[in-house]
Chains A and B, each alone.
Chain A
Amino acid sequence: MKIGKVVGTVVSTINSEVFDARRLLLCDLLDADQEPTGDYLICVDAVDAGAGETVLILDEGNSARQIVGWETAPIRAVVVGIVDEVHLPS
């Protein structure tokens, strides 16, 4: 999984069915010390994450389909948690 930060949402009306009635979050990817890596992902929101929150992103299809309960859904990135703290013993 990856750590990310919610920086926006993607609004879309014409899309694959699985995205209907699901929020799409634009997340910057962060490295372990929470610095932006420069990359980003559009993720399906599974935990009602809010703006600016640090989140846990799952980026793998089978697990994503399991979460939405839809065997043939074309999705990979899902926000599966909201990060409270990250400890990095220096």
Chain B
Amino acid sequence: MQLGRVVGTVVATIKTPGLEGIKLLIVQPLHRDLTEKGRPVVAADGVHMAGPGELVYIVGSREAAQALPEPFVPVDHAIVGIVDAVEELS
């Protein structure tokens, strides 16, 4: 899993079956120091509560599908948690 920030949402009415009712958010992956890492991805919201600007952590590939109530949904990224704090351990 990696850190990310929700930067937007995607609305798509025509989608493959299984994607209905799934909130699609644009997430900018982040390095550990919260700087931008690579390009934004569209992630399914596995916790149904991630809002714009929030710091989240995301998982990719098959685990993304497992984050949703209905397994084996065709998604490749999913938000699996909202970050309250990242605590550096010295």
Interface residues of A, Cβ cutoff 8 Å to B:
6-16, 19, 24, 26, 28, 40-43, 51-52, 61, 72-77
Chain B interface mostly: mixed
- What is the total of A-B residue contacts with beta carbons within 8 Å? 91
Closest A residue to B80 by beta carbon equals: A16
Given contacts A16-B80, A41-B2, A42-B1, contact A74 B67 (CB under 8 A): yes
Q: Which residues of chain B come closer than 8 Å to A19, judged between CB atoms?
A: 80-81
B47-88: which have CB < 8 Å to A?
47, 49, 57, 59, 61-64, 66-67, 71, 78, 80-88
B90 within 8 A of partner (CB) = yes
Complex contact B67–A11 (CB within 8 A): no
